[in-house]
Structure formats: structure tokens, C-alpha cells
Amino acid sequence: MQQKVNPYIIALTVMIPTFMVLMDTSIVSVALPYIAGPLSVTSDDAAWTLTVYIAANAIILPVTGFFSQKFGRKKFFLTMVIGFTVTSFLCGIAPNLDLLLLFRALQGFSGGTLQPLSQAILMESFPLEKRTQAMSIFSIGVVFAPILGPLLGGYIVNNYDWRWMFLINVPFGILAIIMIILFIFDPDYAKAKKELKIDYTALSFLVLGIGSLQTMLDRGQEYDWFNSNFIVVLALISFFFISIFLIKNYFSKTPLIRMYLFKDKNYAFSAIAMFFLGFLFFTTVALLPNLVQTLLKYDAYTAGLIMMPGGVASLIVIIILGRFSTKINQKIAIFIGSLIVFYSLYLMEQINLTASPYFIILGRVIIGFGLPLIFIPINVLAFNFLKKEDINEASSVINFTRNIGGSFGISFMIDTLVQRRLEFHRDALVSHINSSNPIFNGLLEHMRQYLVTRGFSFADSYHKVIALANNTLNAQSLIMSYQDAFHVMMWMSVIFIVFLPFIKKVKSKSNTQVNTEM
């Protein structure tokens, strides 16, 4: 018999590992130059610490439900938290890049399981009518961790050694281990099913397919996408092995992913919606700090401070949703949240080279209000009609779609669209700069005369003016490319409204019991 524990204690227990894992996804991004120097490698080499972690996360996520059934959820959860804590320590003391990459991969494998397991435990610890409240608690970690990561990472590398980005996980990991032992217990359907056989062939197909896909997305722009044989090979490997996995998994007697879950329309549409939400959330979290550091010359810590008010806004909405969970119409919340996100991205599209930090913060605050109104209801509606014994696996897959959506978003919007539109806008602007343009010639002459009055020779002033004009041209082209990215995401946010007619609500408490307890 499952022991009774206060659900809020359970919520705190599972939120700690979730927070650690999501923060580790973003905390390293600001520290690559600080890792590269002491290890005597290039920044590109150091960037593999991000790639291997994200790829390992993506590989293990969709099959977490199966492994929790095979080994028992609590045992598997506890083992993975121990693994994440130990590998965090090993990352912190790694003497060279090769060992750091190995430990980061193991850390990613361990950490990838913690989000879906935490969500599954949390969802079943609260009655259905309070699942919005449960998801509100879970959302604190999901929303805050990627925002806090760059801020904390910037602070650590500015004031301490980069190794503390990993070592800081150790005390929190130990706390999580103790709390899991004391407060987490498996219901009968979550206990180990030792008779389940692992389809190692299908698993190897999945590892090769997802690993290749994630590596392709993370490194594609660096290698110029399909102009690189390396990226072409990764794309072919990914397509081939994922296709073979889906076929093998479909006909397997012990599938790693039970595809019948997608017969539930709520779950199927929510999984798709979560892909696009991951696309928007992780892209905006990465895009804005990139913009303010590149164009407005803020340091990593200041960029993190600009992101924080958006997290505070999300926390306010999360508290309100949790407090009034039984009175909120989830589909209306998604509709309102979509409109808020649309408007916030419209404001971000207006950011220019003279934008004040307060205008940027305003956009972050507004999107901070909107995203939880989409994220929390979608997660609740996804599980409305699933059996409790299916929640582990369902949570694994829906977390996978969110994370892979984030990978697609960062790869497509930041690594590709911004760079390609930068070239487009620069070519367009350059076409207007020539010796026959009287406005440009007048500006050039005015700047030269100003520099001469400041002590430059007439010859030197020409070279200086050309350099200034080139820098201005590059900056203007780049800000226009960021505006294009926000414009695309603005219209993408409408997709959540399109999904609403296909998602059903639970009509009554009696109906709820039939669909969740049977």
C-alpha cells in the first residue's frame, strides 16, 4: 500500500531535480570561453559540452517511462538523481575536455529522466481537480531554471571558477536524494515489472537516430547545414534510424514507446502544441540575451538581470493559476495566453539599436505573463483522459516534444534565420551605399570633418569613417534580422488557438474518475 505524504512535500521533492536539470541546460552557455581557456581548447571545442549534454537528454527522454516500469519508478528516479549528482561533481573536477565531455554525456543521460518522472509523480499526487495547482508548482522549475541559468552562470564565471557551475549541483542533489528516500513511494502500478524485456535493437536505433538529430540541430549552422557532408550524413542517419525505430517499436511485443497513447486526441494535440511551446520558450530565452550582449554590449550577468523580471511575471501568473485552479477555464486561459504572447513578440519586434533596457524588460514581462497561461493548461489537458499507469510514459514523450521543439527553435531561429537574414539585410543596405548617393556622401563628409576637428589627419579620418560606417551597417543588419525572428515567432504563437477546438475538457467529476482510475 502506498504511504500517504502531503502532496506539497512531494511537489517540493520532485521540483529540486527538475530545477537542477533545466538550469544545467542553460548555465553552461555563457561560460564557454571560460571553460575553453583553462582546458587549452577553442570555444568551438568547448561548445561540445552543450551538444553532448542536450543530445544525451534527448535520447533518454522518450524511453524514460519504459525504464521506470522495468526497474520501478522510485528506484529508477533515485538512481538517476544519484547519477546526476555524481556526474555533476565529476564535471566540476574534470582535468581535460575529453573527460568533461564524457561526464557531461552521462550527466545528460541521468538528467533527461528527471523531468518526466518528476511530472508523473506530481500529477498523480494531486486529485484531477487540483492538477492545475500541481502543474503550477512544476512550472516554477520549468520557467525559472532556463532564465536563472545564464544569470547564475554569468555571476559564477565573473566571480569564481567555472567549475562551480557543476559543483553547485552537489548539495542540492544530496538534498533531493534524502527527500526522495523519505517522501516518494510507488503505487502498485509504478512498481518494477521485471518481466518486461528491453528491446535492445530498437533502443540502439533510437539512440543513433535521436543522437544524430540533436547533434545536427546543434551544430548545423556552424557547418553550413547541407553544404557540409558531416551534416548530410547526420541527417541521413537520423532519418533512417528513427524510421526503423518507429517500425520496430510498433511491431514489438514490449514497445519502448506505446503508440496507442496518441489515440487520445487531447494527448496527441497537446504533444504537438508542446513542441511549438518549447520552440517559442527556449528560443526567446536564448534570443534576447544573445541580442543584448551582441548589440547592446551588456555582459552575461546584466543580460540575465534583464531576463529576471519576466520570470517574476511568470511566477505571479503561476501563483494565481494555482490559487484559482478549480475556477479557471483552461481553454480560455490558453486563448488569452496566446494573445499575450503574440503582443509581447510584437513589442520585441520593435527593439532597435536605441532601445532602452526598460523597453526590453517590458517585452519580457509581458511574455512572462503569457507563457504560463499556455504551458500549464496544456499539460493538464494532455493527461485528462489517460490512465494513471500511462502517465509515466506520457510525461516522458511530452517532455521530449517540448525539448526537441526548443532544439529546433534555437537551431532554426538563432543559428540559421538570424544569420541568413543578416546577410540579406546587409546586401540590401549596401546596395544603397555608393558614390552616387548624395545623402551618404554628405554624411561621410560631415563625419570626416568632425574627426579632423578631433585631431585625426584628413587621410586617417577617411579610414576611420569607413570603419564606423561598416560597424553601423553590421549592427543595423543584425538588429533587423532579430526583428525578423521575433516576427516569425509572433505569428507562430497563433497556432495554440488553432489547437483549441480539438482539445476536450473533463465534463464532470464522475467522468474524471472513470477516465483516470479505471
pLDDT at site 513: 37
Distance between CA 34 and CA 431 in Å, rounded? Answer: 40
Cell digits for 414? 538563432
Distance between CA 147 and CA 368 in Å, rounded? Answer: 11
145 close to 16: Cβ distance less than 8 angstroms: no
Instruction: From first to last of the 518 residues of the chain, give the pLDDT tens digit.
Output: 455 778 888 888 888 888 888 887 777 766 777 787 788 887 667 777 877 888 788 888 888 888 888 888 899 999 999 999 999 999 999 989 889 989 998 998 898 889 888 888 887 777 777 777 777 777 777 777 777 777 787 778 778 888 888 998 999 999 999 999 998 888 877 787 877 788 888 888 988 998 888 888 877 777 878 788 888 999 999 999 999 988 988 888 778 888 888 888 888 898 899 999 988 888 887 788 778 877 887 776 777 788 788 888 888 888 888 777 677 788 899 999 999 999 999 999 998 888 888 898 999 899 989 988 998 888 888 888 888 778 878 888 888 888 888 888 878 887 788 888 888 888 888 777 766 667 666 777 777 776 767 667 766 776 777 777 777 888 888 899 999 999 999 999 999 998 888 887 765 443 333 333 32
Apex 140 CA angle, 134 and 145, nearest 5: 140
Cα separation values, 457 from 126, 454, 462, 467, Å: 75, 9, 9, 15
Q: Give all domains of the chain, ordered by start, each with its CATH number.
A: 1-196 (1.20.1250.20)
pLDDT at site 125: 78
Distance between CA 468 and CA 478 in Å, rounded? Answer: 15
482 close to 291: Cβ distance less than 8 angstroms: yes
H or E, element range at 241: helix 229-251
All residues at 6 or more sequence positions from 169 whose CB lies less than 8 Å from its CB, including other chains: 20, 24, 84, 85, 88, 89
135 close to 515: Cβ distance less than 8 angstroms: no
159: exposed, middle or buried (Cβ count in 10 Å: 0-12, 13-18, 19+) = exposed
Distance between CA 152 and CA 165 in Å, rounded? Answer: 8
pLDDT at site 337: 93
What region does 224 belong to: left with phi over 0, alpha with psi -120 to 50, or beta?
left
pLDDT at site 1: 43
What pTM did the predictor assign? Answer: 0.78
pLDDT at site 178: 94
